[in-house]
Amino acid sequence: MIWLDEVALRRIWNQSYMERREKKTIYVDKVGHIMKETNSTPSQPGNDVYLTIDRDLQVGIYHQLEQQLAGIFDEKAFCP
């Protein structure tokens, strides 16, 4: 398993995304009106990214949440 911090993940994501963007060469006049478009390359779908958390961490959080919810329901059951 490879562990990546947020900075590394963003760098990899941006590189993957930027390589697949649409590329165009546009010629404009001095006012900004488009005069000519050349070398158009269509965009392509990027790679899928799946983010997960550690299984043991997820199970631990699930059990803590389950206990807290059980405590809330117990308190409501005993309140008049």
Half-sphere exposure of residue 30: CA atoms within 13 angstroms, side-chain side: 0
| Residue appearing with tokens 């117990």 | 74
pLDDT over 80 (residue 1): no
CB atoms closer than 10 angstroms to residue 12:
13
Give the pTM: 0.33
What three-state secondary structure class fits 38?
A: strand
The pLDDT score that the predictor gives to residue 49 is 65
Q: Which is higher by pLDDT, 9 or 27?
A: 27
Q: Is the pLDDT of residue 39 over 70?
A: yes
Whether 16 shows a pLDDT value over 60: the answer reads: yes
Q: Which of 41, 49, 51, 48 is nearest to 20 (CA)?
A: 41
HSE of 48, CA atoms in CB hemisphere, 13 A:
1
Q: Using 50, 70 and 90 to split pLDDT, how confident is the model at 11?
A: confident
